[in-house]
Amino acid sequence: MLKEKRKQAKLSQPKLSKESDVPLRTIQNWEKRGIEHATVGSLKRVCDVLGCKIDDLL
């Protein structure tokens, strides 16, 4: 779901990483493996950039 939200926002992985202050490798891993082990703080920063809620990524 993260990849779809990111593409809807027309952001590349590096751009999302920079704007959310979440490491690029983390975003890549979340898109490949899911967000099950993500921290709430990191997810919140990504969601703030994407304009969505954490529930939208589940």
Q: How much of the chain is helix, strand and coil, in % rounded to 5?
A: 70, 0, 30
Write the CB contacts of 11 (distance below 8 Å, at least 6 apart in sequence): 19, 49, 50
Q: What is the pLDDT of residue 12?
A: 98
Quote the CA–CA distance of 35 and 33 in Å, as a whole number: 7
Task: At 8, list the tokens.
Answer: 């809807």
Q: What is the pLDDT along the chain (58 residues), one digit of tens a residue?
A: 999 999 999 999 999 999 999 999 999 999 999 999 999 999 999 999 999 999 999 8
Q: What is the pLDDT of residue 58?
A: 87
Quote the CA–CA distance of 42 and 22 in Å, as a whole number: 6
* pTM for the predicted model, two decimal places: 0.92
> What are the structural domains, with CATH classification, of the chain?
2-53 (1.10.260)
